[in-house]
Amino acid sequence: MSFLIDIQNELESLPFHQTAIENWVKAALSEETENAELTLRFVEPAEMIQLNSQYRQKNSTTNVLSFPSEIPEEIAKQLDTRFIGDIIICPEVLLAESQEQEKDLEFHWAHIVIHGVCHLLGYDHIDEQDAKKMQSLEIKILKQLHYPNPYENDYA
């Protein structure tokens, strides 16, 4: 099993080394049985507002947007590596959220990166049943990385 993670950084710097970010992605993909590729892009709030407005009709920034691949299954099966999609993250929003919610910044980053990967793998939180499945997977992955449950109040 191999993973290709294309990191695109539009910022001067990130608070974490690329290796840490790749490890969070790999942990989220660890139960995948095939080779996978994804793009992880870090953007300024202005670009995130534009993307959120364009794709979700919300004229505000957000922490993460995920765009699962739309490659038809019959074509995807012929590829050596399956492209699963794109994740867009706004580090400035993550910093503000971690401060407002009194969360450790590294933990919050790990959670949001994993959350984005889960969306690419087909998980969602539109209804309560789906949200529980997705949250359970996130908690499991974070626990393997020695991070606390992000849905409890003792995560700081």
With a CB cutoff of 8 Å and minimum separation 6, the contacts of 38 are 3, 4, 5, 6, 25, 83, 84, 85, 86, 87, 117, 120
User: Are 35 and 2 spatial neighbours (Cβ–Cβ below 8 Å)?
Assistant: yes
Work out the average pLDDT over 131-146. 95
pLDDT in tens, 24-50: 999 999 877 678 899 999 999 999 999
Work out the average pLDDT over 119-123. 93
| Neighbour count for residue 118 (Cβ, 10 Å) | 21
pLDDT in tens, 68-120: 998 888 887 778 788 899 999 999 999 999 999 999 999 999 999 999 999 99
| Neighbour count for residue 36 (Cβ, 10 Å) | 23
Query: For the residues of 44-112, what is the DSSP string, one character each?
Result: -HHHHHHHHHHHH---S--SEEEEE----HHHHTTSSSEEEEEEEE-HHHHHHHHHHTT--HHHHHHHH
Phi, psi of 86 (to 5 degrees): -125, 140
pLDDT in tens, 51-70: 999 999 999 999 999 999 98
What CATH number should be reported for the domain whose range is 2-145? 3.40.390.30
User: Of 119 and 1, which is predicted with more confidence?
Assistant: 119
Task: Note the pLDDT of residue 13.
Answer: 85
Angle, alpha carbons 69-92-103 (nearest 5°): 95
Task: Note the pLDDT of residue 97.
Answer: 96
pTM: 0.92
Task: Note the pLDDT of residue 37.
Answer: 92
Pick the closest to residue 94 from 116, 115, 109 (CA basis): 109
Instruction: Name the β-bridge partners of 40.
Output: 7, 87
